[in-house]
Structure 1
Amino acid sequence: MPLLQSPAAAIILAAGVSRRLDGNGNRPKILLEFGGQTLLARHLSALDRHGVPAVSITVGYQREQIEAEVARLGWSDRVTFVENPRYTRGSLVSLWVQRDRLRAGAPLLLMDGDVLYNHRMIEALIAAEGENILLLDRDIEPGDEPVKICLRGSEIVDFRKQPEHAHDRHGESVGFFRFSADTAAALAERCEAYVDADQLDVEYEEAIRDLILAQPGRFRVADITHLPWIEIDFPEDVARARDVVLPQVEG
């Protein structure tokens, strides 16, 4: 499979309500600030730095705030917004509403919006060899909360918070992915199948898992254990992001 150097776009999922993040007021998580910059500003800067020309953001809860931040950052000509009116349901719906972008016939990146990370994460995602790439951190937190990438040898054999298939080792998924044009289109089909079956409370990782289990040879991991990052779900994550991860990100 040839090396993919230029994804045509990135999809960022940022529609959710952030129920588990007490004290966030009415702000979407992607507008949390660290070091004087919102997570959204950091996403756009990292994507621009590594040559991704366009961004499509799934919005829902407080979408006007996200749109205002994009305008403030001067990115209105490069960002499109796709609304998920059912943003209180599973994250798969937020990916499904991006089906036109997934079917656009070009490679792309898929990213969770609630992650603080070093820009080299995007570089690693784009530069990794293989058709479809998942980012793997071997320093996984214990418990059921992290989405786990499970490997037997170099083959991905499961991708879930609670894996079902036997494996030799596992790590945590960052929530960033690179997909070929064909895989992105197939992902749209899988999301649509769940929506057509009225399975709207499913998380988007299930659709990706379906594709991996069907054709594991088309997916690879890129190990980014050496890079600082944190997914922000709980108040303690905000504190750790500010006090521990941010100095590493900006160091």
Structure 2
Amino acid sequence: MRAIILAAGLGLRLQQQPGKQFPKCLLRFDGVTLLERHLRMLDAAGVTEVVLALGFEPEQVQAELARLNRSAEIVINPRYDLGSVLTVHTAADAMTRGGDVLLMDADVLYDERIMSKLVAGETVNRLLIDRDFEAGDEPVKLCLKDGVPVELRKQLMADLSYDTIGESVGFFRFKQDCAQRLAEIVKGYVDGGRANMPHEEAVRDLLLERSHTFDTADVTGAPWIEIDFPGDVARAAEEVLPQLQPVGIAQ
């Protein structure tokens, strides 16, 4: 199993001051960077092959790896100012070289139980859903009908029919053939002049093809937060961090 961590973006919504910006995976909570937490969680889950898809200030991330005495495969998206679909395309080789693939946003602070549900069992395509989420345009909603994904978007069509809705955690698991198909869809986005799109749109296309079966793991009740805005940093430190189980994290 291989983990591809998407950590290319500038994070403009979070970091407003020029000259003081840094990759969001280097945000620290209780003295530990998000990157270190990812790596330790993956270690605890038995995932040792890690690919970091970087863009903005990759040297800062490489310096953190050196500080941690860790190694990881690194790919660079030089046009990190465009959409994350281009970052996934930059990691196409890692998507398609075989085995299950975990595709993970770097800017998430999360509990070990979320990782456990992502990696549990034999080879599988898996989505994560949190049914306890705040309404609004920001969360990426995952909608199911009879257990089958019918939508993955921030904004839903008014006539969409579903029986389950929740927020999609920014982590996906794909079997080898499914990862290969996603890489093809992503390439189509880039070749078609849509490199500025979020990668969730390509995942949505994959889901709606219905060519692959997905299971959905419910992580409702497990604390996590995606960090996009200054207020998210405060919430992460004050609300999420105190709830986290220490599994896999050096104390």
TM-score bracket for the superposition, by shorter chain length: over 0.9
- Could you tell me how far apart the structure 1 residues matched to 2:34 and 2:24 are? 8
Partner of 1:231: 226
CA contact (8 A) 2:7 2:52 kept: yes
Partner of 1:210: 205
3-state SS of the aligned residue for 1:218? Answer: coil
Q: Structure 2 unaligned runs (5+)?
A: 247-251
- Under a length normalisation based on structure 2, what TM-score does the superposition of the two structures give? 0.93
1:65 to 60, 68, 91: 60
Partner of 2:154: 161
The 1:47/1:130 distance shift into structure 2, 3 A limit, reads closer
- Could you tell me how far apart the structure 2 residues matched to 1:184 and 1:22 are? 32
Partner of 2:129: 136
| C-alpha deviation, 1:169, in angstroms | 2.3
3-state SS of the aligned residue for 1:141? Answer: coil
CA RMSD, 1 decimal? 1.5
- Could you tell me how far apart the structure 2 residues matched to 1:102 and 1:22 are? 30
Counterpart of 1:186 in structure 2: which amino acid?
Answer: R
CA contact (8 A) 1:157 1:216 kept: no
3-state SS of the aligned residue for 1:21? Answer: coil
- Could you tell me how far apart the structure 2 residues matched to 1:216 and 1:161 are? 23
2:167 corresponds to 1:172 = yes
Counterpart of 1:89 in structure 2: which amino acid?
Answer: L
| C-alpha deviation, 1:27, in angstroms | 1.3
CA contact (8 A) 2:100 2:123 kept: no
Identity level (%): 50
Counterpart of 2:223 in structure 1: which amino acid?
Answer: P
2:95 to 102, 111, 114: 102
2:75 corresponds to 1:89 = no
Partner of 2:183: 188
Counterpart of 1:41 in structure 2: which amino acid?
Answer: E
- Could you tell me how far apart the structure 1 residues matched to 2:70 and 2:59 are? 15
Partner of 1:244: 239
- Under a length normalisation based on structure 1, what TM-score does the superposition of the two structures give? 0.93
Counterpart of 1:211 in structure 2: which amino acid?
Answer: L
3-state SS of the aligned residue for 1:202? Answer: coil
What is the number of equivalent residue pairs in this alignment? 242
Where in structure 1 do 4 or more consecutive aligned residues deviate above 6 Å? none
Partner of 2:108: 115
Counterpart of 1:149 in structure 2: which amino acid?
Answer: L
Partner of 1:33: 28
Q: Structure 1 unaligned runs (5+)?
A: 1-6
1:148 to 121, 141, 163: 141
The 1:147/1:216 distance shift into structure 2, 3 A limit, reads farther
- Could you tell me how far apart the structure 1 residues matched to 2:121 and 2:169 are? 15
- Could you tell me how far apart the structure 2 residues matched to 1:157 and 1:178 are? 17
3-state SS of the aligned residue for 2:237? Answer: helix
CA contact (8 A) 1:116 1:230 kept: yes
